[in-house]
Structure 1
Amino acid sequence: MFSEEMWPENEKKCAVVRKPKQGRKRQELLAVALGVKVGVRGGFLWPPLKLFACPQISSLVRRAALTHHDNHFNYEKTHNFKVHTFRGPHWCEYCANFMWGLIAQGVRCSGLKSEGLYRVSGFTEHIEDVKMAFDRDGEKADISASIYPDINIITGALKLYFRDLPIPVITYDTYSKFIEAAKISNVDERLEAVHEVLMLLPPAHYETLRYLMIHLKKVTLNEKDNFMNAENLGIVFGPTLMRPPEDSTLTTLHDMRYQKLIVQILIENEDVLF
């Protein structure tokens, strides 16, 4: 046990428990969270808690207060959760707080039902790890959930692959033709024009695009859970799959809505176009 006099001045602040305004029950709750004896001047702190800095102790107090709060929130939304280790503080949209710790601090959705799939980014260093694994091991690279439990790492690596291609999946030669097709107002004529330009793609590019659109169509079928429809995916994949031949910021900004529209059309009409 450690007395108040033995603690440095800056650590005494962590050991002080002020009388809460909401009564005895609240006071006991905070005392239990901090390991301080209630009602004792110069209370004692459990030795293990000395390892924590003030912010971590504050986090424990907030977490305990949320757990024992009288008003509990019930969410109808269902999830497919997996235990996840966060390298840094991760914001929880439900409890409006950060998740902290070293390992298995929380859970997050995984798979096609993961909210914001392809829109939410994974940690950059983990995405780079996946890239290096493919560069080193090729098809033998292990990207299983046991190695990378965060699905956003895998989706981020896929987007990075498409962005780094020297020639985009939608080639420079066909870029302007796709943009012109997207500008056609008549829906049927626009669809026919997009199909004609698709036939101009090299076989490898065509098959890659077809395979990707089949996958993205599956993503949209889970829109109720992941909130990613064809338009949202078009916003994400438009600039990733097609880039103007000339490196012009003005052209890129001007064409963004048409890039989004092309990918949206490809996803929505995947079974007709391919």
Structure 2
Amino acid sequence: MENLRNIWKPELYKIQMEAPIPKPIICEDCPDRPDFYGKEYHGIMGHKEATLLLEYEPNGAFLIRKGNVHNDFFTLTWRFNDKIHHYKLYYDGSHYIKEKRFDCIYDLVADGLITCHMELKAHHILEMINSHTCYTESPYVTLNRTKINTLTKIQSSVIKSNLVNNTDEEVTKKPILDLTPTIEDSPLLFKYTKTHNFKIHTFKGLNWCELCANFLWGFTAQGVKCEDCGFIAHIKCSERVPNHCVPDLKKIRGVFGIDLTTLLNAHSSTLPFVVRKCVNEIETRGLDSEGIYRVSGFADEIEALKIAFDKDGEAADLSLFSNINVIAGTLKLYLRLLPVPLITFEVHPKLVNAIQAKTTALQVTMLRQCLDELPPAHFNCLQYMVQHLHRVAQYAEVNKMSAHNLSTVFAPTLVATPPAITDLAFEIRALQALIEFSPQIYYGNK
């Protein structure tokens, strides 16, 4: 399972977070303002006057104007990369410049700034995305390897049965199938082909391409989604995805490797059921287990429990797995596969700074402030996990897992660190403090 540690690539996500934020330049008095614009509309205005208004504003500042009364379009003028840019802007019920359409002008500007920022700061990554990406090493195949293998065998049996039991006339009416002999033990070679049914899609929350593992940036039409199996990809990446659509997979795509906020919104939940069920099971029968979370469970049993969660959801029966280290290993796997760890990239440097405060009281105060900056889904799940680890640490005399030992195990999983960082001493200390001082940090207890 260790090869899954770095399956999702966070670079584009971090670059998007650095993009300029839209700042509308307000015009209070504009009698001919169209009802589909707000105070960012300045009426008839030439480009020189617009440039002067934005000259000393920050990147991201923008206004909307009309070059002259005869134009059949408006003009969006904004400041980006310390330069002034002008774009023809249209409205027909939606705001648009090119093919992307938006319900409000703020979203159009925010998306445009992100796109320009990506082209400026991430061109090397975008070039790599447009180069060859190996499907057999993609996140989709990696995460669904066992499922794909199982479904392939089932479909192969169905195909053979159909060929035996149907007349020649009936067989000719079925889709053309690729029955070329394949390596029996390979889960990556399909016994039939089916093209994906890709459609341009606007994704809610954070999503990553299942071919190249890079972030789907922007606010709208970030990529495509197969309507049959749910495969998600950049538009360019979708052109290189082979015809291996397995529609049955959309029913059991599961919960592993999905952004936390996106998952909880989909399930209308405050906590992932995987975390809740595993924690409950460990606290019921694993608190006194020596080396809990440090001792590895059997990889095949962890994979089996992962599949059970993906397939059965809340109904997954954890009592079937007698080895508590399998439960613990599955929980660690779920947390490790989150595209954005519980302690996010934005909060990481502040966490490191907090733990270097001179007194414990100041560390506790600064750590609490760090946690307040987490997205709500991350805040709640981290609190649940930290309080659980605090209870585990109370049994350290028996299970040999002190707060320090637990933080050493979980720091690489719970804290988002840049790839260049190999020494996690500060991260371990910070997580240890979160565990040890959990009552004070979350409830203000003394």
TM-score (norm 2): 0.35
Given the alignment, which residue of 293, 299, 303 partners 1:118?
293
Tell me which residue corresponds to 2:419: 247
Q: Secondary structure at the match of 1:172?
A: coil
* Aligned partner letter, 2:405: N
Q: Which among 330, 336, 344 is matched to residue 157 of structure 1?
A: 330
Aligned to 1:273: 441
The 5 A counterparts of 1:182-261 are 182-244=355-417, 246-248=418-420, 251=421, 253-254=422-423, 256-261=424-429
Residue from 311, 324, 337 that aligns with 1:136 = 311
Deviation at 1:203, TM superposition (A): 1.0
> Could you give the per-residue CA deviations for residues 12-46 of structure 1, whole angstroms, max 9, x where no partner exists?
xxxxxxxxxxxxxxxxxxxxxxxxxxxxxxxxxxx
Q: How much is the aligned-residue C-alpha RMSD, in angstroms?
A: 1.1
Q: Distance in 1 between matches of 2:294 and 2:412?
A: 13
1:263: Cα distance to partner? Answer: 1.2
Q: Runs of at least 4 residues of structure 1 off by over 6 A?
A: none
What secondary structure is seen at the aligned counterpart in 1 of 2:294? Answer: coil
CA distance in 1, matches of 2:313, 2:330: 14
Q: Work out the CA distance in 1 between the residues paired with 2:338 and 2:354.
A: 24
Provide the C-alpha distance between the structure 1 equivalents of 2:367 and 2:419, rounded to a whole number of angstroms.
Answer: 24
Instruction: Tell me by how many angstroms 1:213 deviates.
Output: 1.4
1:174 is aligned to 2:342: no
Identical columns (%): 41
User: Matched residues in 2 for 1:239 and 1:119: separation?
Assistant: 13
For the residues of structure 2 that align with 1:263 and 1:139, how far apart are their CA atoms?
Answer: 29
Could you say which structure has the higher helix fraction?
1
Q: Which has the higher contact order (CA 8 A, sep 6+)?
A: 1
Structure 2: segments with no counterpart, 5+ residues: 1-284
Shift of 1:237: 0.7
Structure 1 SS opposite 2:322: coil
Question: Counterpart in 1 of 2:15?
Answer: none
CA distance in 1, matches of 2:329, 2:427: 19
Cα displacement (A) at 1:161: 0.6
The amino acid across from 1:265 in the alignment is A
The residue identity in structure 2 corresponding to 1:214 is Q
Q: Aligned partners of 2:334 and 2:295: how far apart in 1?
A: 16
Normalized per residue, which structure has more strand? 2
Equivalents in 2 of 1:238, 1:185: separation in Å? Answer: 22
Partner SS for 1:205: helix
SS at match of 2:440: helix
CA–CA distance in structure 2, aligned partners of residues 173 and 126 of structure 1: 35
CA shift, 1:243, in A, is: 2.1
- Secondary structure of 1:201's counterpart equals coil
- Where 1:173 maps in the other structure, the secondary structure is coil
Deviation string for 1:206-242 (max 9, x for gaps)?
1101111121111111111101110100100111101
Residues 66-105 of structure 1 mapped to structure 2, 5 A cutoff = none
TM-score by length of 1: 0.56
